[in-house]
Structure 1
């Protein structure tokens, strides 16, 4: 029971690790002068209201700038099958698996012969009636 729960937790963690390592996204930032106006992760950053397209034609140097940071994940994932292993690696892997699986053998369920036995109801105290006392 504990090993199956541990196995499920480990499998889930490895799947999340593969998902996070292959995820890629962009972070867009919009600055007006030296001040950060907006930051967006999966969408476009909002521009400041004072600088429109027609206002840029009058200004020689625009004060606003956009920066885009691209965080790339891993693109090439390799899958290996048992045929691509070398003979020594295959023998080591198989021997490790066998030794590990036989390390945790389950014990036989104990047999309780009087599991469903219900003792009789005590009507009188036999020890007092027979006057037998343990000293």
Structure 2
């Protein structure tokens, strides 16, 4: 149970961090093929080794100026988080404490059945008072 709470807490931390942070993914395409991809920085453009390769289709060559393309994906972070305060009044605190204490102790069983008057003798009644005063329960 404790490890489950820790996993949930860490996942919520990462969710808030991802929602509030911003980043950019930059991609460089040559001949409609992804050449370089970078996160937080600009992607590198075609280097001399790629320009020296031969292209069998001849539709797009690395020597052409308009063949390469840069694309970027920008994820904007949000700053509209609201800070909440948890203020508990004394009456609510006493009620919750009493409620949880009573609820937890509700399910505790006794070790044995305790009868507090087991060792005491009943009182002696010398006369029947109902008959003496002629008072009957109906």
Normalised-by-shorter TM-score class: 0.3 to 0.5
Larger Rg: 2
